[in-house]
């Protein structure tokens, strides 16, 4: 838990240099535009601890896995987001002294992430060994409009005449800290100087992604007392500026870098493209680019901002979460997905997890045009063949599909057996996303076009994964890992069993619907997938007689078989020095303890809330929440939503801050590795599904607000089918402005109200 970030509604601010938190700040202040992104590493030299990171969307490397004892079915590689060409290194020497904030004591240091405009800024003063005081001002951004462009602007003033040397690099000499065998992942690196540009081209080993980068510099000085010299280095190129800076004179340097990858253009043209884009940026100039950037972010905020009145801490937090989400994924490319760390670190390899469907989808459904969410679904549709292959590797047949736990291209690339082979509930979330998307958007055509094939593959998997227990005379599912990864290889995880039954029923219903409504398309799918009606017979046998662990005394579903044999000691009785337990306890101790890493049974209540009454919600929340340590970033948001549901406003607010400020306050002591991007969408859900009570039932929008005591109002826009709405929530009123779209009937706490086009409607509500 750290509290060095200043509260500000639109900015993330570090005041005074927090050397002990440099790696955390590098994560928190990260910048990105969905296509490229980087950690907030300093431009100038920094000799202290740092995790250098600069990443390109979709450019990955299949690092050779590191496994002690191989097990049949393990993937051969672990895909890694690649540390890519570095364009932020700008060494500054003043009278021969290298500026290095680890060696100097900066004065008036401020670092600001201006979320409104999408800018990373730093300003500070340092005094050199010779006693000259220098004032530095850095601005950096990756352009939201020009997806391949990164810009750095530097201003230096000195308190006395001095000699300044600036070495600005474009470097392909970049390494992943998490490389398993200290391998360099790039090959054929070439670098050079052409006219006034620096350039680097290189290619990944194995995956053969090519990239080209080009940098141009612009120096602004009211004298001509400087020289520029460009040169080529090993794996990079360098612009060397020698400037005679006079007292109180300002030196400005701008660096425009374009990085093009073969994800978005033919390899042969990359170098030219990069050059042309850098050139154009340089012609447009800094001021215009800053205006563009501000306009682009204004457009995003206009659609997606959440305004919280009365609580700047909460306000800052939700904007930070939204800001990072849009920096990570903009939804314009169905080949891309949302890595748990986005562009803010190497951990989890930038790969796709079930986080996308379970946490991110609702965010993009409500805040972006529907093709953004659709692209996320099509991503999985495109990988269906590989999911079928993956299931085959594990012994499943006849088109059963097991989507990977971790993937870059549809292939599984995690390799702990307890996760890869057993954390199969991910299949449920991927199926649920089809339902969620259609339910929210009303795009029923998606089912025929893409959805049903995915559902069929997944249902076939469940159908083979369960078996009939002669002992129980019920269907069971053995050897799984639920969302709570503090349990491995358990029998009858309630959540997974629940999801299996849901998938089978939903798929059956959708098959029947399509048979009726579009028999031709259904016949095509049935033929393509060799579907037999007898499959449904088996599904019905399973779903009508599935076993769910249950305790009659407490009237609660049990997380898994044997859960009650554990010592049930509430987390509140754990001493602080044992937390987080994952850092202090051996794995076996964690496994046999009752402690829950993240919502498991409660995650099922979150998804299937309408199947359970409020008392049941309360009982399960009261049983499980005290045993939950929330050592997954995905946990607090679900608990906030459920706490809201059961009317526990204090807990709902507590969990809101815990999810929203997870990285800002480094709550789990791991933000140094990168920000928890996917859980940020969960933060947004605590607002929309939690405090606002937003649901879509039978095609109707529901709002059942319950806003925290401290807040005066919440305002946000959503897209809902044909409508674009502005929603304002007050303590006892809800207001909806129908910005775009037809007249809309909305339900609030059971009361219907109609909002006409371009009109607002504000009504009192009475909580049930």
Site residues for a copy of itself per CB under 8 A: 65-69, 71-73, 78, 181, 393-395, 415-417, 421-422, 467, 469-472, 476, 478-479, 488-491, 561-562, 564-568, 582-589, 591-592
In whole angstroms, the minimum distance from the beta carbon of 382 to a copy of itself comes to: 25
Dig out the tokens for 415 from the structure: 């390799």
Task: State phi, psi for 660 to the nearest 5 degrees.
Answer: -70, -30
In whole angstroms, the minimum distance from the beta carbon of 644 to a copy of itself comes to: 32
In whole angstroms, the minimum distance from the beta carbon of 227 to a copy of itself comes to: 47
- One-character DSSP codes across 110-126: EEEEETTTTEEEEEEEE
Contact 561, 492 (CB under 8 A): yes
In whole angstroms, the minimum distance from the beta carbon of 233 to a copy of itself comes to: 30
**Which is closer to a copy of itself, CB of 78 or CB of 241?**
78
Residue with tokens 């409009």: 145
Dig out the tokens for 511 from the structure: 């098959």
In whole angstroms, the minimum distance from the beta carbon of 590 to a copy of itself comes to: 8
CA distance 66 to 272: 39
**Which is closer to a copy of itself, CB of 422 or CB of 436?**
422
C-alpha torsion sign, points 721, 315, 106, 248: positive
Reported residue count of the chain is: 768
**Which is closer to a copy of itself, CB of 268 or CB of 552?**
552
For the chain, the first-to-last Cα distance in angstroms comes to 37
In whole angstroms, the minimum distance from the beta carbon of 749 to a copy of itself comes to: 40
Residue with tokens 């401020």: 110
In 565-624, DSSP assigns E strands to: none
Q: Which H helix or E strand runs over 219?
A: strand 210-220
CA distance 106 to 127: 8
Chain mean position to CA 677 = 3
**Which is closer to a copy of itself, CB of 72 or CB of 224?**
72
Exposure string for 376-386, b = 16+ CB within 10 A, e = fewer: bbbbbbebbeb
In whole angstroms, the minimum distance from the beta carbon of 565 to a copy of itself comes to: 4
CA distance 188 to 371: 37
In whole angstroms, the minimum distance from the beta carbon of 492 to a copy of itself comes to: 8
| Number of other residues whose CB lies within 10 A of the CB of residue 33 | 25
In whole angstroms, the minimum distance from the beta carbon of 593 to a copy of itself comes to: 9
Alpha helices in 394-518 (DSSP H): 417-420, 426-441, 445-446, 452-465, 494-517
**Which is closer to a copy of itself, CB of 420 or CB of 628?**
420
CA distance 425 to 138: 46
- List the one residue out of 188, 170, 191, 193 whose CA is nearest residue 257: 170
Q: Which residues are catalytic?
A: 485
CA distance 443 to 374: 10
Strand partners, 193: 198
CA distance 720 to 747: 14
**Which is closer to a copy of itself, CB of 37 or CB of 350?**
350
Omega before 580 cis (within 30°)? Answer: yes
Residue 164: C-alpha distances to residues 134, 227, 244, 249 (Å): 11, 11, 6, 12
In whole angstroms, the minimum distance from the beta carbon of 415 to a copy of itself comes to: 5
Dig out the tokens for 428 from the structure: 């449920």
**Which is closer to a copy of itself, CB of 589 or CB of 731?**
589
In whole angstroms, the minimum distance from the beta carbon of 58 to a copy of itself comes to: 24
Contact 229, 216 (CB under 8 A): no
CA distance 394 to 535: 20
**Order of strands, sheet of 760-764, starting from the edge strand that comes earlier in the sequence:** 306-309, 713-720, 723-730, 733-740, 760-764
CA distance 471 to 493: 18
Classify the phi-psi angles of 416: left when phi > 0, otherwise alpha if psi is within -120 to 50, otherwise beta: beta
CA distance 298 to 346: 30
- One-character DSSP codes across 181-208: T----EEEEEEEEETTEEEEEEEETTT-
CA distance 747 to 565: 44
Contact 201, 210 (CB under 8 A): yes
Contacts of 429 (CB under 8 A, 6+ apart): 354, 357, 358, 499
In whole angstroms, the minimum distance from the beta carbon of 75 to a copy of itself comes to: 11
């Amino acid at each position: 838990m750290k509290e060095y970030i200043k509260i500000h509604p639109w900015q993330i601010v570090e005041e005074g240099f927090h050397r002990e938190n440099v790696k955390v700040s590098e994560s928190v202040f990260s910048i990105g535009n969905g296509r490229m992104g980087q950690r907030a590493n300093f431009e100038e030299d920094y000799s202290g601890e740092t995790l250098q990171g600069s990443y390109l969307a979709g450019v990955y490397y299949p690092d050779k896995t590191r496994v002690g004892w191989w097990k049949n079915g393990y993937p051969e590689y672990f895909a890694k987001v690649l540390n890519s060409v570095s364009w932020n290194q700008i060494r500054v020497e003043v009278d021969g002294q290298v500026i290095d904030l680890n060696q100097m004591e900066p004065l008036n240091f401020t670092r600001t992430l201006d979320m409104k405009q999408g800018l990373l800024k730093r300003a500070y003063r340092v005094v050199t060994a010779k006693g000259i005081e220098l004032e530095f001002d850095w601005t950096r951004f990756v352009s939201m409009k020009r997806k391949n462009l990164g810009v750095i602007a530097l201003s230096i003033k000195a308190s006395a005449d001095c000699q300044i040397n600036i070495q600005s690099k474009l470097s392909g000499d970049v390494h992943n800290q998490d490389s398993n065998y200290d391998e360099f992942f790039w090959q054929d690196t070439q670098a050079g100087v052409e006219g006034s540009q620096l350039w680097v081209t290189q290619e990944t080993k194995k995956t053969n992604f090519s990239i080209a980068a080009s940098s141009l510099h612009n120096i602004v000085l009211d004298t001509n007392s400087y020289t520029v010299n460009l040169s080529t280095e090993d794996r990079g190129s360098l612009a060397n500026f020698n400037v005679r800076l006079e007292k109180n004179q300002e030196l400005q340097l701008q660096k425009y870098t374009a990085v093009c990858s073969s994800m978005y253009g033919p390899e042969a043209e990359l170098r030219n493209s990069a050059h042309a884009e850098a050139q154009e940026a340089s012609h447009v100039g800094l001021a215009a680019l800053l205006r563009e950037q501000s306009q682009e972010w204004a457009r995003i905020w206009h659609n997606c901002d959440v305004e919280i009145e009365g609580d700047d801490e909460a306000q800052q937090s939700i904007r930070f979460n939204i800001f990072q989400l849009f920096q990570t994924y903009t939804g314009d490319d169905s080949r891309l997905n949302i890595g748990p760390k986005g562009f803010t670190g190497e951990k989890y390899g930038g790969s796709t997890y079930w986080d996308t469907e379970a946490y991110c989808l609702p965010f993009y459904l409500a805040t972006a045009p529907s093709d953004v969410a659709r692209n996320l679904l099509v991503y999985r549709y495109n990988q269906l063949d590989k999911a079928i292959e993956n299931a085959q590797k594990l012994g499943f047949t006849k088109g059963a599909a097991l989507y990977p736990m971790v993937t870059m291209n549809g292939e599984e690339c995690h390799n702990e057996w307890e996760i890869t082979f057993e954390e199969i509930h991910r299949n449920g979330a991927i199926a649920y996303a089809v339902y969620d998307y259609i339910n929210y958007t009303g795009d029923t055509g998606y089912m025929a076009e893409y959805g049903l094939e995915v559902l069929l593959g997944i249902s076939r998997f469940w159908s083979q994964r369960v078996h009939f227990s002669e002992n129980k005379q019920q269907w069971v599912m053995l050897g799984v890992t639920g969302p709570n990864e503090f349990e491995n290889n358990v029998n009858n995880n309630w959540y997974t069993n629940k999801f299996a039954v849901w998938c089978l029923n939903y798929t059956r219903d959708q098959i029947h619907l399509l048979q009726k409504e579009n028999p031709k398309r259904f016949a095509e799918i049935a033929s393509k997938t060799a579907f037999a009606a007898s499959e449904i017979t088996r599904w019905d046998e399973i779903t009508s007689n599935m076993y769910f662990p249950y305790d009659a005394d407490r009237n609660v579903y049990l997380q898994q078989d044997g859960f009650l044999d554990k010592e049930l000691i509430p987390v509140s009785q754990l001493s602080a020095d044992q937390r987080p337990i994952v850092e202090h306890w051996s794995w076996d101790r964690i496994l046999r303890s009752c402690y829950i890493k993240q919502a498991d049974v409660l995650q099922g209540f979150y998804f299937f809330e309408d199947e359970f009454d409020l008392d049941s919600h309360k009982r399960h929340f009261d049983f499980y929440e005290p045993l939950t340590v929330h050592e997954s970033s995905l946990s607090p948001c679900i608990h906030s939503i459920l706490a809201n549901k059961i009317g526990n406003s204090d807990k709902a607010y507590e969990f809101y801050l815990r999810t929203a400020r997870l990285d800002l306050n480094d709550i789990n002591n791991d933000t140094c590795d990168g920000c928890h991007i996917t859980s940020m969408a969960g933060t947004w859900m605590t607002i929309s599904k939690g405090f606002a009570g937003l649901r879509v039932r039978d095609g109707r929008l529901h709002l059942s607000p319950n806003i925290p005591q401290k807040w005066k109002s919440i305002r946000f826009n959503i897209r809902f089918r044909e409508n674009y709405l502005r929603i304002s929530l007050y303590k006892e009123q809800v207001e909806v402005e129908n910005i775009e779209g037809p007249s809309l009937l909305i339900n609030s706490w059971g009361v219907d109200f109609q909002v006409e086009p371009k009109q607002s409607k504000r009504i009192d509500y009475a909580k049930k």
